[in-house]
Amino acid sequence: MRSRNLGACFCRETAGEKIALIEPGPPVRQTTYAELQTEADAVARGLVAHGLTRGDRVGLMAMNSREYLAAYFGVMRAGMVAVPFSYKLAPPVIEHICRDAELKLLFIDEGQEPKAPGFVETIRLDAPAFEDLKDPGPFAVVEPDPGEVGMILYTSGSTGVPKGVLLSHDSQRWSLERGSKAAGDRCDAIYIVAAPMFHMNATISTKGAFWNGATVVMLPAFDARAYAAAIPQFGVTTLTSVPTMLALVAREGDALGGLDFSSVRDVTMGSAPLTQALIDKVQALFPGAKISNSYGTTEGGPSPFGPHPDGVPRPALSLGYPHPGTGAELLEGSGPDEGVLYLKNPMQMNGYNNLPEKTVEVVRDGWYRTGDIMRRDENGFFYFIGRADDMFNVGGENVWPGEVEKLLETMPGVHQACVVPAPHETKGMAPFAFVVPSPRAELTEDAVKQFALSNAPAHAHPRHVEFLDAIPLAGTNKPDRNALTARAAELVRGAM
């Protein structure tokens, strides 16, 4: 019987000497299942000896590494709560998280000391202090009570300070069990993880791989060329990523030097809107792979959708059909098949940390209001339209940035687009498009505008177009819409 503790979510049938983790380096470092679990036990024992007790919160603010994983799993094995968050956040935000979570200890790595608040004890994962903390020996994993919190993930805080999402061992285990059943035997799979471990995409992918006894190739952070090079070097079969990551890989084009990606069997892109243009580019990169569009939220679970129960083929842009045990309804729209997605399933959060009033705002009678606008087709497949918060009004007409982006990315020469609202003299707000051209493409602002006018309602066409070498990314590797919105406003006001 496998432990209910997320810190011990490893496949029991996997041989201890099988490689669990590969870090490309240089130098390449390989870690077996036995070694990783032994190190996690040593961390758990060390935390207890250090005076921490069950329920204490322990932060992780560092890049991806074997040490990070050992600390992450060790914290939960000891019955404590793991709190991963971004090292790229501003110091005031980091201080807010440390106070809000009431951290008793914070694991960091090189370069993070200046950002770490002085009121929290810190231990560097890449220094002797981490070795000193560990207490080698067997450890009896703490079996959590029903609903006991195992992890807190902080939201990106696009509308104020980040909120701590309380996630139980049970909720995440249900996700792993359901995901494993849907995917089938993955024991021979080799995953690649480059998204940060403070993001649900990376945490659930890593735990899912270990749950199935697979191998994870882990990069400390995302770099398009390093990511691409690691795929043939280690025979990667399974890619889970944010769409912008693979957009950056695809844009490398000739720079990839004819790398052999024939080992790749499955590519899943999620956590952000996906366009057909990007699917086509990714399919061209990995011609032998099955491409899947995924969806999930920190609060409502990592992937509530999957295959159709009657075997109906899943359309490329569809998120899938609700998994058994998942309720999915579309409300607040013009009809039953378009509106805000509400979810109800065992993967949901316990609530927001220290924010009961915010919890009540989004969870009613067990239903979580995602804030994502979707539509449902005649076969019951769901499609993402946009965030309710991202929609803006142009002279009385609603504009969904994601829909305009999908259109622009069908234009020859456009590799990627990000659309945000910008001030307009008569409309109040109007679309502003940031466009990354394809290599050697010759695009003009007027050509992009005319393409949009010819293929979409006039109110949705970009009034301004700015060309970029790359779309700036937030810490989660999604487009940094806040930064681009501010940049658009600055450019528009400067031109007035």
Tokens coding 338: 């378009």
Q: In what order do the strands lie in the sheet with 149-154?
A: 122-124, 103-108, 57-61, 81-84, 149-154, 164-168, 351-352
Q: Give the pLDDT of residue 473.
A: 85
Q: Give the pLDDT of residue 183.
A: 66
Distance CA 286, CA 291 (A): 9
pLDDT of residue 445 exceeding 70, the answer is yes
- To the nearest whole percent, how much of the chain has pLDDT over 70? 96
Structure confidence by residue, pLDDT tens digits, 373-390: 999 999 999 998 888 888
pLDDT of residue 362 exceeding 90, the answer is yes
Tokens coding 475: 């810490």
Half-sphere exposure of 21 (CA within 13 A, CB side): 26
Out of 161-170, 399-408, 486-495, the most confident range is 161-170
Q: Give the pLDDT of residue 270.
A: 78
Query: What residues contact 76, with CB distance under 8 A and at least 6 apart?
Result: 5, 6, 7, 82, 150, 151, 169
Cβ neighbours around 312 below 10 Å, total: 12
Distance CA 37, CA 69 (A): 10
Distance CA 180, CA 175 (A): 8
Please, what sign has the CA dihedral across residues 118, 123, 124, 128? positive
Mean pLDDT score of the chain, rounded to an integer? 91
Cβ neighbours around 99 below 10 Å, total: 13
Structure confidence by residue, pLDDT tens digits, 161-212: 899 999 999 999 998 988 776 666 678 999 999 989 998 889 999 999 999 9
Q: Give the pLDDT of residue 271.
A: 65
Structure confidence by residue, pLDDT tens digits, 215-259: 999 999 999 999 999 999 999 999 988 888 888 898 887 777 789
Q: Give the pLDDT of residue 250.
A: 87
pLDDT of residue 361 exceeding 90, the answer is yes
Q: Which of 149-153, 198-202, 462-466 has the lowest mean pLDDT?
A: 198-202
Structure confidence by residue, pLDDT tens digits, 261-289: 999 999 998 766 778 888 998 999 999 99
Query: Which residue type sits at 150?
Result: G
pLDDT of residue 44 exceeding 70, the answer is yes
Distance CA 436, CA 454 (A): 20
The pTM score is 0.85
What DSSP character marks residue 144?
A: P
Query: What residues are paired with 341 via a beta bridge?
Result: 330
Please, what sign has the CA dihedral across residues 291, 293, 296, 301? negative
Question: b vs e for 205-222, b when ≥16 Cβ sit within 10 Å of the residue's Cβ?
Answer: bbbbbbbbbbbbbbbbeb
Q: Give the pLDDT of residue 192.
A: 97
pLDDT of residue 156 exceeding 70, the answer is no
Domains and CATH numbers, the chain: 17-221 (3.40.50.12780), 305-387 (2.30.38.10), 392-495 (3.30.300.30)
Distance CA 483, CA 478 (A): 12
Q: Give the pLDDT of residue 395.
A: 80
Distance CA 175, CA 348 (A): 10
Residue with tokens 């069990």: 177
* 158 vs 315: which has the higher pLDDT: 315
Grade residue 103 by pLDDT with cuts at 50, 70 and 90.
Answer: very high
The span from the first CA to the last CA of the chain, in angstroms, equals: 67
What DSSP character marks residue 290?
A: E
Distance CA 347, CA 325 (A): 10
Cα-based distances in Å from 76 to 41, 43, 47, 152, 177: 10, 10, 11, 11, 18
pLDDT of residue 157 exceeding 60, the answer is no
Instruction: Please provide the DSSP assignment of 212-261 as one string.
Output: TT-EEEE-SS--HHHHHHHHHHHT--EEEE-HHHHHHHHHHGGGG-S---
- What does the pLDDT average to over 126-152? 97
Q: Is 203 helix (H, G, I), strand (E, B) or coil?
A: helix
Q: Give the pLDDT of residue 215.
A: 96
Cβ neighbours around 292 below 10 Å, total: 22
Q: Is 488 helix (H, G, I), strand (E, B) or coil?
A: helix
Cβ neighbours around 39 below 10 Å, total: 20
Grade residue 310 by pLDDT with cuts at 50, 70 and 90.
Answer: very high
